[in-house]
Structure 1
Amino acid sequence: MRAEKRFLSLDSFRGLMALSVMVYHLRVSGSFTEWLLFRHAEVFVSFFFVLSGFVLTHAYGRSAQFNFRKFFITRTFRLLPLHLFMLGIFILLECGRYMAAQKGMDFNNAPFSGKFAPSEILPNALLLQSWTHLTNPLSFNYPSWSISIEYYTYMIFALIVSIAFGVRTWVWVTTVLVALALMHAGNTFFTIESLRGLAYFFTGCLAYAVYLRLPHPSRAQTWLLTTLEVAAVTAGLIFVINDFAAKQLWASPLFGVIVVIFAFDGGAVSRLLAGRGFGFLGKLSYSIYLTHAAVLFCVVSAFMVAKKILGVDIAPVIDGTRYLDLGNVLLNNLIAVLVAGTVVLVSMFTYRYVEMTGQSLGRALSNTPSHSGPVLRPDTEA
């Protein structure tokens, strides 16, 4: 039955796109990090929102007895432990920068200033940094800007599911259209990050509503799903590597269609993505996404120290961006691969000891006796 379905290919997409975002933030001269796909990979964050909306609607959106308390606890302990752990890591790294500056090390900006100012710590801890114009959404662990939006969007979703059972779909449609309209109009009242999150997340909710209404293809129609999957991937790649007006607006319907196609897990591309290796990356996706900025910070800092010691510019600044450059294309590609591998290794640790620990605690707390009704448990991580 569909209610019991696990979306294997969508899980794998999450891992691949988390890696792509990591490569987007890594700049190594003359390496694969400079491929056009990775230079535009920031748009994959929009796909994360769509996918989260789809998966949470599958898990909770059709429940007649929605348990807000249980949802709040499990979602909080799904996102917050790793986020707070990485915020603590960045504060420690900033302390390290401060001590290095005291010994004469030069940095692009003074320690504990700008986006690392102490005033940004509390908004980050509360996941509010992307919701106001008074805070910097890219402060401290900059990828967490989207986690800030996603967390409170979860709660908006839960509120809608709790009180608008009969008209949920219409509320989702309205939210998407209003958010996209405000983005197109150049709204300045709401943050652009919040509008993007709301538009894409509830596009995912609508995508699930469409998925439910489509007939499930038979095994004999594998060729049709394979054709649709190849077409979807091709369209997605063309969309990602090209810049054009209203790209952020078109991301909403395009990613929604792609998610619906791959939700059936029926084509050859889906079978490939359902493999153990891709599934492993999908499992680590949240850790990859939240830990990579700290790993990149440490790698770049090591190159800057080596540059000062060796007197060779292996960490040049080009057009305001810090690159890594060992002066050889093969070595540069090797460095990029090693950095990516390091991120995966660190993510294996944080997944096992931070994510899983937090989720276990959340399940224990959510299962304590309460007067609320039962709730469906999500079978795919969001």
Structure 2
Amino acid sequence: MRAEQRFHSLDSFRGLMAISVMLYHLRVSGSFTEWLLFRHAEVFVSFFFVLSGFVLTHAYGSSVKFNFRKFFISRTFRLLPLHLFMLGVFILLECGRYWAAQKGMDFNNAPFSGKFAPSEILPNALLLQSWTHLTNPLSFNYPSWSISIEYYTYMIFALIVCIAFGIRTWIWATVMLLALALMYAGNTFFTIESLRGLAYFFTGCLAYAVYLRLPQPSRAQTWLLSTLEVAAVTVALIFVINDFAGKQLWASPLFAVIVVIFAFDRGAVSRLLAGRGFGFLGKLSYSIYLTHAAVLFCVVSAFMVAKKIVGVDIAPVIDGTRYLDLGNVLLNNLIALLVTGSVVLVSMFTYRYVEMTGQSLGRALSNTPSHSGPVLRPDTEA
């Protein structure tokens, strides 16, 4: 049955796009980090939202008796432990900057100021930083801006599932269209981050409704799905590397179509993505996404210290952006690979000791007796 299905190629996509977002934030002169694909990879965050809506609808969207308590505990312990852990890491890093400043080291910004101001800590801890104009969505661990939006969007989704069983699809469509319309109109009341998250997430919900209505392809139709997958990847690459008006609006339907095509897991590209290597990255995707900013901070800081020691500018600022540059293309590519490997290694640790520990605690809490009805869909990673 489809309800028990796991979407292997979509899991792998999650890992590949987490790596792409990491490479978007890493700048190494003359290396593969400067490819057009990675210079525009910020749009892949939109894919995460669409995919989350699709997967959460698969897991919960058709439940007749929805257990909000279990959902709340499951989602909270899926996202919050690693988020809080990394927030703590960034606070410690800022303490390190403060100590270094006391020893005479100069920084572009004073420690615990701007986006690292103490006033930003509580909004980050509560995952509220992207929902108000009073807070900086990129404060402390800047990739967590999307986790802020995703967490409360989960709760909005859960409320809709709880109270609107017969008209869920209509409400999802209304929220999506309203959010897209406000984005197009240049709304200033809601944050752009919240509108993007709501629009893309509920696009994913609608994509799953479409997926359910499509017939399962036969083995004889594998060639057709392979063709569609190759076409989808080609269109996506062209879309990503080009800038044009309304790109954020078009990302919503495009990524929804791609998710539906690959959800069948039948084409040649899907079989490639189902391999253990890609699956491994998919498993680590949340850790890669949330830990990479801290790893990059440490690497750049190390280069800046080395710059002072050796007297060679190996961490130049070009057009306001900090680059790493050892003066040799081969060495720069090697540095980019080593940094990527370091992010994966750190993510293996946080996945095992932070993510899995948090999820185990969440399962233990959610399985305690309550008066709520059972969840009729198995939980699925999102």
**TM-score range relative to shorter protein:** over 0.9
Contact 1:4–1:379 (8 Å) recurs in 2: no
Q: How much does 1:103 deviate?
A: 1.1
Partner of 2:268: 268
Q: How much does 1:377 deviate?
A: 4.9
CA displacement, residues 290-312 of structure 1 (integer Å, 9 cap, x when unaligned) = 00000000000000000011110
Q: How much does 1:236 deviate?
A: 0.4
Q: How much does 1:102 deviate?
A: 0.9
CA displacement, residues 64-101 of structure 1 (integer Å, 9 cap, x when unaligned) = 00000000001000000000000000000000000111
TM-score (norm 1): 0.99
In structure 1, C-alpha distance between the alignment counterparts of 2:26 and 2:104, rounded to whole Å: 26
Contact 2:314–2:325 (8 Å) recurs in 1: yes
Contact 1:63–1:376 (8 Å) recurs in 2: yes
5 Å-filtered alignment, 1:281-292, equals: 281-292=281-292
CA displacement, residues 180-233 of structure 1 (integer Å, 9 cap, x when unaligned) = 000000000000000000000000000000000001100110000000000000
Q: How much does 1:8 deviate?
A: 0.2
CA displacement, residues 133-192 of structure 1 (integer Å, 9 cap, x when unaligned) = 000000000000000000000000000000000000000000010000000000000000
CA displacement, residues 297-344 of structure 1 (integer Å, 9 cap, x when unaligned) = 000000000001111000000000000000000000000000000000
Contact 2:63–2:377 (8 Å) recurs in 1: no
Contact 1:204–1:256 (8 Å) recurs in 2: yes
What is the DSSP-based 3-state SS (H/G/I as helix, E as strand, rest coil) of the residue aligned with 2:280?
helix
CA displacement, residues 33-59 of structure 1 (integer Å, 9 cap, x when unaligned) = 000000000000000000000000000
Partner of 2:83: 83
Alignment CA distance shift 1:74-1:135 (3 Å)? same
Judge which range, 81-90 or 96-105, deviates more: 96-105
In structure 2, C-alpha distance between the alignment counterparts of 1:339 and 1:108, rounded to whole Å: 23
Identity fraction in percent: 92
Matched residue count: 382
In structure 2, C-alpha distance between the alignment counterparts of 1:251 and 1:213, rounded to whole Å: 23
Q: How much does 1:104 deviate?
A: 1.3
In structure 2, C-alpha distance between the alignment counterparts of 1:186 and 1:77, rounded to whole Å: 35
Contact 2:65–2:376 (8 Å) recurs in 1: no
Q: How much does 1:105 deviate?
A: 1.1
Contact 1:90–1:294 (8 Å) recurs in 2: yes
Q: How much does 1:378 deviate?
A: 4.1
Contact 1:141–1:294 (8 Å) recurs in 2: yes
In structure 2, C-alpha distance between the alignment counterparts of 1:193 and 1:92, rounded to whole Å: 27
Q: How much does 1:108 deviate?
A: 1.4
TM-score (norm 2): 0.99
Partner of 2:55: 55
In structure 1, C-alpha distance between the alignment counterparts of 2:378 and 2:41, rounded to whole Å: 28
In structure 2, C-alpha distance between the alignment counterparts of 1:2 and 1:142, rounded to whole Å: 36
What is the DSSP-based 3-state SS (H/G/I as helix, E as strand, rest coil) of the residue aligned with 1:105?
coil
Contact 1:57–1:208 (8 Å) recurs in 2: yes
In structure 1, C-alpha distance between the alignment counterparts of 2:309 and 2:321, rounded to whole Å: 21
Contact 1:78–1:359 (8 Å) recurs in 2: yes
Contact 1:316–1:323 (8 Å) recurs in 2: yes
Contact 1:5–1:379 (8 Å) recurs in 2: no
Contact 1:7–1:380 (8 Å) recurs in 2: no
Long gaps (5+) in structure 1: none
Partner of 1:355: 355
Alignment CA distance shift 1:7-1:379 (3 Å)? farther
Q: How much does 1:381 deviate?
A: 1.0
5 Å-filtered alignment, 1:1-382, equals: 1-378=1-378, 380-382=380-382
In structure 1, C-alpha distance between the alignment counterparts of 2:114 and 2:100, rounded to whole Å: 18
Q: How much does 1:379 deviate?
A: 5.0
Alignment CA distance shift 1:169-1:31 (3 Å)? same
Q: CA RMSD in A?
A: 0.6
CA displacement, residues 327-362 of structure 1 (integer Å, 9 cap, x when unaligned) = 000000000000000000000000000000000000
Contact 2:64–2:376 (8 Å) recurs in 1: no
Long gaps (5+) in structure 2: none
In structure 1, C-alpha distance between the alignment counterparts of 2:380 and 2:155, rounded to whole Å: 18
Q: How much does 1:288 deviate?
A: 0.1
In structure 1, C-alpha distance between the alignment counterparts of 2:281 and 2:379, rounded to whole Å: 17
Contact 1:314–1:325 (8 Å) recurs in 2: yes
What is the DSSP-based 3-state SS (H/G/I as helix, E as strand, rest coil) of the residue aligned with 2:132?
coil
Q: How much does 1:107 deviate?
A: 1.2
CA displacement, residues 217-269 of structure 1 (integer Å, 9 cap, x when unaligned) = 00110000000000000010000000000000000000000000000001000
In structure 1, C-alpha distance between the alignment counterparts of 2:378 and 2:82, rounded to whole Å: 19
What is the DSSP-based 3-state SS (H/G/I as helix, E as strand, rest coil) of the residue aligned with 1:210?
helix
Q: How much does 1:115 deviate?
A: 0.1
CA displacement, residues 1-55 of structure 1 (integer Å, 9 cap, x when unaligned) = 1011000000000000000000000000000000000000000000000000000
In structure 1, C-alpha distance between the alignment counterparts of 2:347 and 2:96, rounded to whole Å: 22
In structure 1, C-alpha distance between the alignment counterparts of 2:278 and 2:39, rounded to whole Å: 22
- Runs of 4+ off more than 2 Å: 376-380
What is the DSSP-based 3-state SS (H/G/I as helix, E as strand, rest coil) of the residue aligned with 2:244?
coil
In structure 1, C-alpha distance between the alignment counterparts of 2:310 and 2:123, rounded to whole Å: 40
Q: How much does 1:380 deviate?
A: 3.3
Alignment CA distance shift 1:176-1:287 (3 Å)? same
In structure 2, C-alpha distance between the alignment counterparts of 1:286 and 1:345, rounded to whole Å: 13
In structure 2, C-alpha distance between the alignment counterparts of 1:54 and 1:342, rounded to whole Å: 31
